[in-house]
Structure 1
Amino acid sequence: MVQVSERPGTAKISNLQDKFVYEIGVMYDAENRFLEAQQMMCQCCQHSQLKSLMENHIRETEQQIRNLEQVFNALGQQPRRINCDAASGLISDGQRFMLLAADNPKILELGLAAGQAKVEQLEISCYRGLIKGAEQMGQNQVVQLLQQNLQQEEQTAQKIEQCMPQLLQEAKSSSGTGSSKSR
């Protein structure tokens, strides 16, 4: 069980505004973590289509972070990162996979795309929830900023999904039958 005292800088949540600001802080942390992870993943990627997709999404993520900073401003708050354990977990899983698959670039690239797809689905879910909250609070400017982020995440998820069959085929070809032959 996590105690509030274990999370320095995190105030108790006592109303919808506090809840919303907390969730924006969590998303702000997630986007910053994902930006760093994408930059690392991009350096490991040799697949031109996937690398291009990642480079484009890095620029989008930088804009999404600026959008979240504008959300904080619109709410009269200073931007504040609140640890996102879900982002930390996805990044940790991705880093472990990268280490384990480092000797096979095609498997590595397939794993990078799969990891990015997981991240996109988390972000899509979070932004949809944040948009509903902002709508309920009548925060139209916030809704617009969050919708921009959501649209970019949905487009990236779609592009990754379109790229996956090719990456899967290339990974399958690079590892023979694709099955383990150990006994």
Structure 2
Amino acid sequence: MAHSKFHKLFLDELKDIYWAEKSLVKALPKMKKGATSVELASAIDDHLEATKGHVARLEQAFELLGAKAAAKKCEAMAGLITEGEEVLADTEEDSMVRDAGIIICSQKIEHYEIAAYGSLRTFASKMGHDEVAALLEQTLKEEKEADSLLTEIAESSVNEEAVAE
């Protein structure tokens, strides 16, 4: 099983999301700094800490699989991070419009991660890597919670204030 084409795909996709998570650790502080809403900045800060945990969990998954933790550039995440940087550059500071832009970019990232972790968890389960599947399930749950929190922040205040600007 360890040398099957399916297992190789699984490892390649783990390397991809590993790169993505490590890149987010660098990108999230910029998003936090650009946020106007204290609630959004706090949510980004909390997710930064969770993301560091996601990196550690992926390293644990690689170890359980007897593989070296290695990153492979995730073109999708690179593009999503660039989109976020463009929103920061193209919107005014101290603006709820900027916060609305940060939220949409953040939710695109969360949805990408939800898709990746959901698939990876299923792959791990299919191959009988139950401990790895449990680690991926835990991260999947956290990504879904982050997405829900972003929706709550957008709908409770940011979007209304952004429309009024």
TM-score, normalising length from structure 1?
0.85
Residue 133 of structure 1 aligns with an amino acid whose one-letter code is F
Aligned residue runs from structure 1 range 153-168, under 5 A:
153-165=143-155, 166-168=157-159
Cα deviations across residues 90-134 of structure 1 (Å, max 9, x unaligned)? Answer: 111111111010346211111011110110000000000001100
Q: 1:94 aligns with which of 84, 87, 91?
A: 84
Residue pairs, 1:94-173, within 5 angstroms: 94-103=84-93, 105-165=95-155, 166-173=157-164
| Structure with bigger gyration radius | 1
**1:40 counterpart = 2:54:** no
CA distance in 1, matches of 2:145, 2:93: 31
Return the alpha-carbon distance in structure 2 between the equivalents of residues 133 and 112 of structure 1. Answer: 31
Which amino acid in the other structure matches residue 65 of structure 1?
V
Q: Which runs of 4+ in 1 moved over 4 A?
A: none
Give the length in aligned residue pairs: 162
Match of 1:18 in 2: 8
2:65 maps to 75
Distance 2:58 2:17 in 1: 8
Distance 2:42 2:100 in 1: 15
Considering only aligned residues, what root-mean-square deviation do their CA atoms show, in Å?
Answer: 1.3
Q: Secondary structure at the match of 1:78?
A: coil
Q: Judge conservation of contact 2:36–2:93 (CA < 8 Å) in 1.
A: no
Q: Distance in 2 between matches of 1:35 and 1:110?
A: 21
Gaps of 5+ in 2: none
Matched position secondary structure for 1:46 = coil
Percent of paired sites with the same residue:
26
Q: Equivalents in 1 of 2:64, 2:51: separation in Å?
A: 20
Higher mean alpha-carbon deviation, 164-173 vs 138-147, is at: 164-173
Q: Deviations over 1:52-103 (max 9, x none)?
A: 1111100000000000000110111111000100001111111111101034
Matched residue, 1:177: none
Match of 1:58 in 2: 48
| Structure ranking higher in helix proportion | 2
| Separation of aligned partners in 2, 1:14 and 1:66 | 26
Instruction: Report the CA distance between 1:150 and its aligned residue.
Output: 0.3
- Alignment TM-score, normalising by the size of structure 2: 0.94
Per-residue CA deviations over 1:25-61 (Å, capped at 9, x if unaligned) read 0000011112211111011112111111111100000
Tell me, yes or no, if structure 1 residue 84 matches structure 2 residue 80: no
